[in-house]
Amino acid sequence: MANHDLEQAIRVATRAYDGRVDRQGEPYVAHVIRVMLAVDTDDERTVALLHDVFEWGTITLREFASAKFPKRIVDAVDALTKRRGESLAEYVERVQASRLATTVKLADLRDNALESRLDALPSKAVRKRLVTMYRETAELMGVDLDELCGRRVV
């Protein structure tokens, strides 16, 4: 049986990330698909596809609302959306208030810290800045980035 929310997330993500590329110059949708494949439940997969629609996508709040996702999905996507002027600690606290958001954020961190993605960044300075942020995020979430990734992340 098909999951309506997951199907809807695929449609929304396809629209939101159309033509968008990540820091490495790759289609942005590839990142959210990898995150989706790293989680287990349909709710987690739905949130994984949508977790960056406002930060990296081109979707409006009105378009997102028209998709009529259940509150648990909307709340998790909201928790994963960084706010302007918000500290990393405030962001992580909000993420951790949602089990769905926490699961997806950990998968997101693992994907962001993939060696192949880090190697493709435009400079060593960008890599250092991002690894520092990923490490701090993981620590605030109570995990070690190296353990989360199964290797030393540098």
Domain count, the chain: 1
What would the pLDDT profile of 97-108 be if each residue is shown by its tens digit?
Answer: 999 999 999 999
Domain membership flag for residue 13? yes
146 alpha carbon, distance to own chain's centre: 18
Q: In sequence order, which ranges of the chain are alpha helices (DSSP H)?
A: 4-16, 28-37, 42-50, 61-66, 71-80, 88-96, 99-112, 115-119, 124-140, 145-149
Q: Taking the CA atoms of 11, 15, 42 and 81 in sequence, report the sign of the dihedral they define.
A: negative
- The pLDDT value recorded for residue 141 is 98
Domain membership flag for residue 154? no
What would the pLDDT profile of 45-98 be if each residue is shown by its tens digit?
Answer: 999 999 999 999 999 999 999 999 999 999 999 999 999 999 999 999 999 999
Mean of all residue pLDDT scores within the chain: 96
Domain that holds residue 98: 4-149
